[in-house]
Amino acid sequence: MYLIGVDYHPSFQQIAFFVEETGECGEQELNHSDGQAERFYRDLQQRGIRVRVGMEATGYSRWFERLLAELGFEVWMGDPAEIKTRRVKKQKTDRKDAQLLLRLMRENNFPQIWVPDPENRDLRQLLWHRHRLVQMRTRIMNQLQALAMNEGYRWKKKLFSEQGRMQLEKLALAPWASRRRQELLELLDRINPTIEELTAAVEREARKRPEVLRLMTHPGVGPLTALAYVLIIGTPTRFPRGKQIGTYVGMIPSEDSSAGKQRLGHISKQGSSLLRYLLVEAAQAAARNHPDWRRRYIRLAMRRHRSIAKVAMGRRLAIRLYWMWRNGCEYSHSLEFSSYAGQLGIVHGVK
């Protein structure tokens, strides 16, 4: 068995390895662009060596993970925050990082995390692609609003109606402003059908999953939010209690308390920014359409601030969806803003 700690970078990786049978150990730097890293691992596979690779969760490593899966190697993906706490000395180099990963593997103290399957990751690309296109469309629409307001017209949403667009196109503008208006309208015409197509794809994927349909019974939650929640959370059994969901999506305040004084800061913003955004948007939709959610939101907004109230409602929604998914139940008004302790077969937060 080869144990390999990998400090991964986009262009190269620093490894530290240990051979259990012989006690041999060593270090090496492997480049990616010239195929050195791929040749190294394929050579181990051809020699029939069992390999376990430990690395931190990081970006730009999909090709490397696919390579290891193709070769049949065992991969341990580690939590970067947990691994950072295991570093004793305040010295950080690529070599020391690789050695730390190897040491944690040998001590059976490696903080493994859940890794989504390839289908899950590909569906996340659908959600991110649609989200980014919607952001681009919003920027285009804001620029068109600015053009109209500079000419003394403040039409707001009416600007993008059929009549509003005709009036916008009739405005007498200077040559470059006119060209800007024309090209922005062309971009808007091109991006709208693409967003509609991606939205339809999201709805089709949502209908394939019973758990997504169950979450959609909650006020304010549509196919986009429900599908993103299921894909990013993965499985509710990862979390023994609902409060950990708020921590996972980064919707709890950071804290620096000491000597009996509590100091709370902004939310941690750990986890998926997309899911965090969708939860807050869905919570606002629920507050607009559901009297209990609206009452709770107004009470929080009066006590603190609207922005804090929005995040708090989004966190509450995340926890509510967790219990709905874990217990296999649809939305029920009887459980609105009540404790789940001792209900639906839940004892101490465990089924």
Per-residue pLDDT of 235-244, as tens digits, reads 999 999 888 9
The answer to whether residue 95 scores a pLDDT higher than 90 is yes
pLDDT in tens, 40-59: 999 999 999 999 999 999 88
- What's the mean pLDDT in 224-253? 92
E strands present in 126-258: 253-255
Q: Is the pTM of this model over 0.85?
A: yes
- What's the mean pLDDT in 169-176? 92
Phi (first) and psi of residue 196, to 5 degrees: -60, -40
The predicted structure's pLDDT at residue 336: 63
pLDDT in tens, 255-267: 788 888 888 888 8
Residues 6+ apart with CB under 8 A from 106: 3, 18
Least confident of 180-189, 194-203, 340-349: 340-349
Distance CA 316, CA 92 (A): 38
The predicted structure's pLDDT at residue 346: 40
**CB-based contact 216:203 (threshold 8 Å):** no
Q: How confident is the model at residue 12 (pLDDT cuts 50, 70, 90)?
A: very high
- What's the mean pLDDT in 138-161? 92
What does pLDDT average to over the chain? 90
Distance CA 183, CA 173 (A): 14
Distance CA 173, CA 341 (A): 64
